[in-house]
Structure 1
Amino acid sequence: MLPWKHLLRPLSALLLTAVVTIVPATTATAAATDRAATATSRGWNDYSCKPSAAHPRPVVLVHGTFANSVDNWLGLAPYLVARDYCVYALDYGQLPGVPLVHGLGPIDKSAEQLKTFVDKVLAATGAAKADLVGHSQGGMMPRHYLKFLGGAAKVNALVGIAPDNHGTTLNGLAKLVTHFPGASEVLSAATPALADQVAGSAFLTRLNAGGDTVPGVRYTVIATRYDEVVTPYRSQFLDGPNVRNILIQDLCALDLSEHAAIGLIDRIAFHEVANALDPPRATPTTCLSAIS
């Protein structure tokens, strides 16, 4: 019998193969151009934007795994632009030959890309600090920037929407990988970011050693009990000073958003993002926030 790993076609590898096969390079380039135009036309990634007195810090949006700087933010970015924020979003974690979807490379390298992008945004806006809002991996990856790359001096707040701060078991599937010799190596070779996000990975062990937070940064975590990707959902929460952990169902029991929806379309979560960005002007979040 062949070793199991010769029979394994990891989900990550299948997804990447499908994307590369189905989307020709010319189509991918055109799609990337269209996405960039979409962002600018809708008011974000406008480098002529100057932060207002009411909202003096630019907001940098950090997408999740298998996502990009536009599609992940078609809901939240216009929501914040309409509230007079200067909003920016980056692509990070690209793998060679893989178009359209990002957040796949080693997370420590992605954090270096975030550092470069934040510096670019601060230079363009003249602001001393930025606020970061991330979904899934994008809510966790910035913590590496804050802790190891000097980001704490340039960031006022980090808001994580369904962040995998302590990794994920994928309802036990991630733990299953550890029972098969060579499985972690296969996963790491195909999509390093997925391997980094497995609960107990070397990346997460180093990230969380010595405490979840760093001084001088405000942290907000917005989670849903129906998260099927970052499991268990309470592993998203942070410990430390200047932390607010929010379970969206505590604010609206009728909210059934799961992992993707809470970051893409959930205006109740969006309202909590706005509260986290501007605490002095925060207003109560209820089910009615969905229509505000």
Structure 2
Amino acid sequence: MGTIARAVTGLALITATMLVSTSTASASESAAGPAQPNIASAAVYALGHPTASPPGSNDFTCKPTAAHPRPVVLSNGTGANAYDDWAGLSWILKRDGYCVFAPNLGGPEGGMFQALGDIPTTAGQFGQYIDKVLAATGASKVDIVGHSQGGMMPRYYLKFLGGANKVGTLVGLAPSNHGTDLDGLVEAVRSLPGGNDFVGALCASCVQQEVGSAFLTNLNNGGDTVSGVNYTVVATRTDEVVTPYTSAYLSGPQVTNLRLQDYCLIDGTEHINITYDHIAIQLVRNALDPAYAWTPNCLT
């Protein structure tokens, strides 16, 4: 497919996404759905249950233990929802003894597709949600695990919205920290008359995650990190959304950058399924609880 054709196709997909999203009935987060083995099965379930909570999450009566004093807040990627991204990891973290929370933010209330809106606005909503979690659990800080935009967006909260004193660890799975060129699709869309304006009107966060965007320039100006927070990035060489995949990495103190293929050379997990990859899941668990970390491999 030619570059311009791919650009038009991408624009059409975004338009279809928005039409489906805005036609979905409004609803708040609902009861937890079942655990899922991959993003495809989670998405199928979410079609009929767009507000389902990931299993083990969103219990506001949960009280942290001494072993795991910080609740874990999960943050999904662009166009996904909490259940899509976290129906595999959430119950594992709950089983490990964490209080786990996963909001749907940045999209139509009750809609299937979330995290489409202006990222600073979503970050503000995210901060309000964290305050709600802290108030309910009595914890002084949370840890955050985010996928794609969900791994990058909390950095805005940390840097500009007072979140640094409320977060211990931020783990990003294929986060869009330094944007994406979508293998040339971004430049193709920019070359179309009104192309970027069209995309931005439908999906503000899509344009804000383009490499070189004003949003990312502002976010990364003066350094990638803030003091007092530990950062872990898990990237995959076969990422087809955040390209080049190394744009996920952070620089600065208290940063650990990891790659799936350094643990299993033949791991072909791509962007959308990384939250279900067994190596990525173990690396998340290691980052949240370093005292009990162990090194995953192709089989375990």
TM-score normalised by the chain length of structure 2? 0.86
Task: State yes or no: 1:211 paired with 2:223.
Answer: yes
AA matched with 1:273: V
CA-CA distance at 1:181 after TM superposition: 3.3
Aligned residues: 277
How does 1:111-150 map onto structure 2 within 5 Å?
111-150=123-162
How does 1:110-259 map onto structure 2 within 5 Å?
110-259=122-271
Gaps of 5+ in 2: 34-48
Gaps of 5+ in 1: none
Aligned equivalents of 1:197, 1:207: Cα separation in 2: 11
Cα pair distance change 1:31/1:107, threshold 3 Å:
closer
Q: Quick one: percent identity of the two aligned structures?
A: 50
Ranges of 4+ aligned residues in structure 1 off by more than 6 Å: none
Aligned equivalents of 2:271, 2:115: Cα separation in 1: 16
Q: Is the 8 A contact 1:32 1:100 kept in 2?
A: no
Match of 1:86 among 99, 110, 115: 99
Cα pair distance change 1:54/1:60, threshold 3 Å:
same
Task: State yes or no: 1:281 paired with 2:283.
Answer: no
Q: Is the 8 A contact 1:10 1:187 kept in 2?
A: no
Aligned equivalents of 2:29, 2:57: Cα separation in 1: 18
Cα pair distance change 1:108/1:277, threshold 3 Å:
same
TM-score normalised by the chain length of structure 1? 0.89
Q: Is the 8 A contact 2:158 2:164 kept in 1?
A: yes
AA matched with 1:47: F
AA matched with 1:15: T
Cα RMSD, aligned residues only: 2.3
Aligned equivalents of 1:168, 1:113: Cα separation in 2: 24
Aligned equivalents of 1:223, 1:207: Cα separation in 2: 20
Aligned equivalents of 1:118, 1:279: Cα separation in 2: 23
Task: State yes or no: 1:43 paired with 2:45.
Answer: no
Q: Is the 8 A contact 1:44 1:86 kept in 2?
A: yes
In structure 2, the partner of 1:59 is: 72
CA-CA distance at 1:18 after TM superposition: 4.1
What SS does the corresponding residue of 2:151 show, helix, strand or coil? helix
CA-CA distance at 1:39 after TM superposition: 3.1
In structure 2, the partner of 1:76 is: 89
